[in-house]
Structure 1
């Protein structure tokens, strides 16, 4: 599931940032292609906004992946968009056709197939998996903001996407969250509240960063040029 239904206003563009140009393609196209060529992926859902229909069609016209892409329109929040997509897949989830779901931010265009495979494998093995990087730049401070000597407590991880979970518990957790009006910070937070599945940390990638500000596009362009 590739989430592309946000606005991305902080990047300062007049268009949804996932459709900005990046190394000869729309930014979104890089994520779509990565999942479309990743082993073990059988269904690919693109969550979009209705007003971006023309841009989404342009991306999919150029798509050359092996996995068919289905389009779902998102909701008012990230969680609502995820629920819309899960409901779209509900029949196949309940029938056992889809056993695991990965949810990825389209604004992370440099995702690699190796990380996709690692998250999928861990999610199938343990129930849930999230990629992340150890936060070595975090410091400890006092209540009034003064920095304490020494490092902050260990075990702090900067979480990335895709986040992966077994499909049936994921759908059930999101439906329960909708009933109770709970809005989580990400997929894992919703699962931690409404599911007993363990969530396993998988080492992420430095390149798998999120495009948030204009300079992020410059960095992504340089990294893609280096790959070529």
Structure 2
């Protein structure tokens, strides 16, 4: 089966003094989360579209989906304490609800990347049906500088540097098996779900992203997103 999992479990601390997690903030006429869900509802190959949100906002999320979304494939569950715990909790729900199959795949996406395109989603599905893990990336435009304690320690060759986006897509069994092999120390170091597969020795295939597929993280990002929506309207 082919699943989508929209990760809406973040608190949005970098958004500043706002009354709710950033995924629930308004973007034009509806919440950011709803814009993102609607993009995934356009893909007919998904058997289920799972939204994983903070436990304290479960009822609010369900109310929003009832108000704005008519697609019966969309389900809501509470997430975990951090990103990868949320991802695994969503996978457990999918397996308990729909069963376990060796060829199950899941396309995971940040709830606050509402400008994801149908091309990116479709190519993630195509790639993950052939490979255990897929990452959406764009080539780095600026030089990437690595440093610690205010000193540069390395400047990698830019031509081999990419910026990671989402979706990130996985064969479910391969991801669960990889996560089970990690030590607690390795799990604590995870800042990215594809790193689960890399640490377990699994290959990760790349799909081309888009610069407009950016993550709404700060008030500036929200202003840019609002301007883009207004221009399209």
Normalising by structure 1, report the TM-score: 0.88
1:11 aligned residue (15, 35, 39): 15
Residue correspondence of structure 1 range 1-228 to structure 2 within 5 A: 1-12=5-16, 13-64=18-69, 66=71, 68-91=73-96, 92=98, 94-95=100-101, 99-139=104-144, 144-145=151-152, 152-177=157-182, 182-183=187-188, 184-194=190-200, 196=202, 198-228=203-233
Q: What secondary structure, in the 3-state scheme, does the structure 2 residue paired with 1:133 have?
A: strand
Q: Please state how far the C-alpha of 1:130 moved relative to its aligned partner.
A: 0.9
Conserved? CA contact 1:23–1:225, under 8 Å:
yes
Give the match's secondary structure for 2:51: strand
2:147 and 2:27 map into 1 onto residues whose CA distance is 42
CA distance in 1, matches of 2:183, 2:94: 17
- State how far apart, in whole Å, the 2-side matches of 1:36 and 1:217 are: 23
Aligned length: 224
TM-score (norm 2): 0.86
Task: Show structure 2 runs of 5+ residues with no match.
Answer: none
Tell me how large the CA RMSD over aligned residues is: 2.5
Runs of at least 5 residues in structure 1 that lack an aligned partner in the other structure: none
Structure 1 moving runs of 4+ over 3 Å: 63-67, 139-148, 175-181
Whose strand fraction is larger, Structure 1's or Structure 2's? 2
